[in-house]
A and B are shown apart, each in its own frame.
Chain A
Amino acid sequence: DAGVIQSPRHEVTEMGQEVTLRCKPISGHNSLFWYRQTMMRGLELLIYFNNNVPIDDSGMPEDRFSAKMPNASFSTLKIQPSEPRDSAVYFCASSGGQGAVDKHFGDGTRLSIL
């Protein structure tokens, strides 16, 4: 079975540019999570969706960050405009089934803002 698929794996861009990260969850999973990992702050939950609906976005750091889940098989995390302090590894994870708490993580997108 295919796992959680994230693209791109690496992104290098200049500050001020728009960045879009993409995620395809495991088929049949109804919850999707976006995390950010940095050395200083560890793993932080940014936002999560249940049945394509954003449930909690309290971890989104600023209005420059936005996330969408237009359907059950696709989600995006957008940063506009990007800043150097946004440099991090961004992970998408999905979980599914009633009572399922196990999160399945993608391999992440390593984002560098110059």
Chain B
Amino acid sequence: AQSVTQLGSHVSVSEGALVLLRCNYSSSVPPYLFWYVQYPNQGLQLLLKYTSAATLVKGINGFEAEFKKSETSFHLTKPSAHMSDAAEYFCAVSDTGGFKTIFGAGTRLFVKA
């Protein structure tokens, strides 16, 4: 069975500071891994995905994530936070068919001026 654990339901950073959102996964097969972002009153939007190619994945809005099999982690980072990054972020794992995607509980990112 697949599962995802996001460490920290809330993360607060200052504008310009490093953003680090943590995600650990469990999967019995090589997984597909995703980060999605959700702005208020909107649906989820794909930030980036890992599909067994390069372990360092670059996404939209300056975000990137690194797949570390030994640590079963897929943490999301951005070197410099912007006010517009304030949103909820979801890590997700999927089988290679891509149908049954399991989402983490989400991490709400606050960005302070």
Contact = CB atoms under 8 A, between A and B. Distances in A.
A74 B41 CA distance: 22
Which bucket holds chain A's interface residue count? Answer: 20 to 34
A34 interface: no
Interface string B85-113: 00000100010011111011110000000
Given A50-B99, A55-B99, A56-B100, A105 B44 contact: yes
B42 interface: yes
A31 B101 CA distance: 13
A55 to B, nearest CB: 7
Given A42-B103, A56-B100, A101 B43 contact: no
A50 B15 CA distance: 43
A56 to B, nearest CB: 7
Contacts, number: 50
Interface in A49-95: 50, 55-56, 91, 93, 95
A95 B97 CA distance: 11
Nearest to B97: A101
B90 A43 contact: yes
Contact of A95 (B42, B98, B100, B103): B98
Contacts of B105: 42
Interface of A: 4, 31, 42-43, 45, 48, 50, 55-56, 91, 93, 95, 99-108
Interface of B: 32, 34, 41-46, 49, 51, 90, 94, 97-101, 103-106
- Please list the 7 inter-chain residue pairs (A to B) with the smallest Cβ-Cβ separation, ordered nearest first: A101-B98, A105-B43, A43-B103, A105-B44, A42-B105, A107-B43, A106-B43
